[in-house]
Amino acid sequence: MSKAPIDPLPRPANVSRRGFVGGLSAGILGAVATEAAGAETLADVPDRGPGAILSAHSERSRFAKIDRIPEAGPGKRNIDPGDTINSKTPHQKLVGNLTPTDLHYERSHSGVPDIDPAQHRLLIHGMVQKPLVFSVDDLKRMPSISRVVFIECTGNGWENWKKADPELTVQNTHGLVSTNEWTGVPLKFLIDLVSKDKSSSWMLAEGGDGAGVDRSIPLTDEIVNEAFVAYGQNGEPLRPAHGFPMRLVMPGFEGNLNIKWLRRLKFGNQPWMTRWETARYTQLLADGKARQFQLRMETNSVITQPSGMMQIQPGYNRISGLAWSGHGKIAKVEISTDGAKTWTQAQLSQPVLSKAQVRFQMDWVWDGKPTRIVSRSTDDKGNVQPDRQSFIAAMGTNALFHYNAQQTWSIDEAGRVRNVLA
């Protein structure tokens, strides 16, 4: 990280320039190339002049270097692109509550299909009176809703089950969760169109990817009322990586249930026991038994600023991060800067939405002594994000999925921020 003698932003009174710039250099400015000389005085700011030709599609500034990181699994980085199984959101370089569309995390099980929407169909059948086939245009003609929700891979956090690699960034540890606005048709509306049999209590959702990823979905009142088939993402058609031309959105539930490239919904009265809900997304406990249908994503939070592999300076530092819960709204986030001994409530960035990520932040003056910082969230149903020790006591270290223990970052005397277990 550059420590060029620059002063690009106004700073609060009583904070030395060195401390302020040092703290920032690890964060938002870290997303921007600062190799070039800065502007010591206003005279150093380049002259104005005509800029580039206006375009049909705007790109990020060449100074803003923000990318996802493709990985092949826990601890498998810097890989052959062909081995990629997921691509993680760079939370350490983002601000606000929403994730940019192109940086929304991706987990796909058989690549990204190239689907012509004119040839895509959604079949809804099984225990229904009227099995129907819908085109993308059919869906777009129906009454729609838009909702901001997080989607989280069940493997988010899977790096830290057994040990903490000190070289990890928050992108490595928590890059499998993102928040977008999705637009589409309520599942309830489609259920009415096909006249679902009342005794049907499960639904199979299947994708049009090579793996034909399919999951059994329990038709609880919550799911029937909140699930929807989306064709819009942040105001535009879904990106192919996220299910173009249509996907299921299941607010608060495992990412894998939000079936991408959706092409079939089948109603039945028992789960199908697909590979994904038996062999894959089940959580192996210490006694050798596995938790099954642990479908809801838990109460969670992580400090993104400062976070793993950053370096801070003594003095003013602003702590910021993201919190979310599959149970509902985040009620509060507390931060400890003394290794979980004392806690202070952080500010939440409005709006705080149910089953969406919310940014939290807090002022902090670092005294330059080694310490540990950690956040914990509480949702409006009273669920509290567990500390690592009690979490591991309940889940063991073999579960692989549904990791939501508090994330601790250690800070040494040089200000180096590193991933630790607690």
What is the contact surface with other proteins in residues (CB under 8 A)?
110, 123-125, 130-135, 138, 141-147, 186, 188-189, 192-193, 198-199, 201-202, 204, 206, 210-212, 214, 218-220, 225-226, 263-264, 266, 268-275, 278-279, 282, 284-296, 351, 353-354, 397-398
Q: Where are the strands (E) in 190-258, listed by range?
A: 202-207, 214-218, 228-233, 236-237, 247-249
And the tokens for 111? 């690549």
Query: In the complex with other proteins, which residue's Cβ is closer, 189 or 343?
Result: 189
Give min distance, CB of 288 to other proteins, in A: 3
Contact indicator for 342, 79 with CB cutoff of 8 Å: no
Give min distance, CB of 106 to other proteins, in A: 18
Give min distance, CB of 385 to other proteins, in A: 19
Q: Phi then psi for 113, rounded to 5 degrees?
A: -70, 150
Instruction: Tell me the HSE value of 216 on the side-chain side, using a 13 A CA sphere.
Output: 19
Query: In the complex with other proteins, which residue's Cβ is closer, 47 or 287?
Result: 287
Tell me which residue of 192, 209, 217, 189 sits closest to 110, measured CA to CA: 209
Tell me which residue of 263, 240, 259, 261 sits closest to 249, measured CA to CA: 259
Give min distance, CB of 377 to other proteins, in A: 19
Query: In the complex with other proteins, which residue's Cβ is closer, 231 or 409?
Result: 231
Query: In the complex with other proteins, which residue's Cβ is closer, 187 or 362?
Result: 187
Contact indicator for 191, 256 with CB cutoff of 8 Å: no
Query: In the complex with other proteins, which residue's Cβ is closer, 179 or 408?
Result: 179
Q: How many angstroms separate the CA atoms of 392 and 163, rounded? A: 12
Give min distance, CB of 349 to other proteins, in A: 15
Instruction: Tell me the HSE value of 52 on the side-chain side, using a 13 A CA sphere.
Output: 8
Query: In the complex with other proteins, which residue's Cβ is closer, 103 or 323?
Result: 323
Give min distance, CB of 393 to other proteins, in A: 16
